[in-house]
Structure 1
Amino acid sequence: MNGLAGKTAVVTGAGSGIGRASAERFAEEGANVVVADIDEEGGRETVDAIEDAGGDATFVDIDVSDVESVEHMVDVAVDTYGGLDFAHNNAGILTGFAGVTDIDEDQWEQLIDINLKGVWACMKAELSVMEEQGGGAIVNTASESGLVGMGGLSSYSASKHGVVGLTKSVALEYASRGIRVNAIAPGPTKTNIQANSPDTDADPRSLPFDTSAMTDVPMDRVAEPEEMAGATVFLCSDDASYITGHTLPVDGGQAAD
């Protein structure tokens, strides 16, 4: 795609799933990649895969709910590669299906801290660098649950609706400053996001994908992480130079149903 070669991207949650696929796709298009994840083993595996394919990547340990940790991630990008051109704020958790009255306060706060505050913290750090250097592009990972309500997922849906609204508002703030801000809204994807919950000890990379809780998809299949990566990298590329403030459903037609 146009405009990525020689540039620098950061990807959060890049140790597995959509984040790993996104980091690898940025590298395939010629970008340097800062691979950010709280999972050091997974993150370093992503770096190894990129380097084995001839790309350039650097791992940074990050907790997106911690502002100082996020600022360190951006500092690493600038110190290592001289700037920051693209960001995919992808890290997130799903703490499982529960009725709204069954969600405890700690669970609610933890999910909002990672899924929504984390996106805000990342953009806050990324935007200052992008504005100083005269432009950039950001893609946030929302969800189909950020576009419609889903019973049993009230906290997750609230966080992802927040990401959609935050994306729109920040896009308007920075539209005249050369920075585009968009989001993707993945449908059912082979990511095992529920296993990424801090309450789960299982390694998400070792578990089979469970489609039992997924609703029907018009295209009659579950997406691959690489399909989300393709949409993300497109939105960062020059091919999307007049697109900002939008959330792109990548959901096999669910949003149209």
Structure 2
Amino acid sequence: MFRVITCNTNGIRAAQRKGFFEWLAKQDADVVCIQETKAQEHQLVDEAFRPDGYHCYYNDAEKKGYSGTAVYAKREPSRIETKVGWDPVDSEGRYLRADFEGLSVISLYVPSGSSNEAAQARKDLFMKKFTPHMKALLDEDREFIICADWNTCHQNIDIKNWRSNQKNSGFMPHEREWLTELYDEQGWVDVFRQMTTEPDLYTWWSNRGQAWTNNTGWRLDYMLVTPGLSGTGKAFSILRDERFSDHAPVTIDFEL
């Protein structure tokens, strides 16, 4: 089995204080993808941020305390890539790709559009520009696992209050259609939904009110895989027993 974990930590130092790395040490993951580290690598001096048994890579945003991605890998990658050639991806550390033999794993943090119209415009531009990048990945002679906070729910089953959120960022029709295009036109596979159609499985809960307690959530954190990896997901879990951020870690075991 090849175990992959993805998690938006909403600040990796805050997650560390809440026990994230103690939990991670027990998971025996082959690759861990983190989004929203909110730190510069030189600030991560504690040995916890270099977990035993892993090669660790960080891609920081230029703006301090903002965005950022990371990848931890048991096997040393043959190549690391942190740029796609345009902003806001490059300046905000939103993309980190690790290449292994025949397989690449990407940690990706899609912009949120929820704060205001300008933020939504930035997200819309990202989706437009990232679509051909996704297509280009499919043209490479390798398989991909893209671990991301996509900041978008795809189907009604992926969000608790879908009726009242259809005009809100993260569940607007054109955002959902973007994911549909990646699936139906390009061939990317939401491996989690291949394994289960169970409802009420979410990965993000607002810190407002009783969203966590009542499981009023959104499924924002997906692993998309190339068609060649379709059907290779064999087990999954979403951590609900502990809470390290407003997102939950998602674990998928692949049979590769």
- Structure 1 length as normaliser, TM-score? 0.47
Quick check: which one's helix share is greater? Answer: 1
- Structure 2 length as normaliser, TM-score? 0.47
Quick check: which one's strand share is greater? Answer: 2
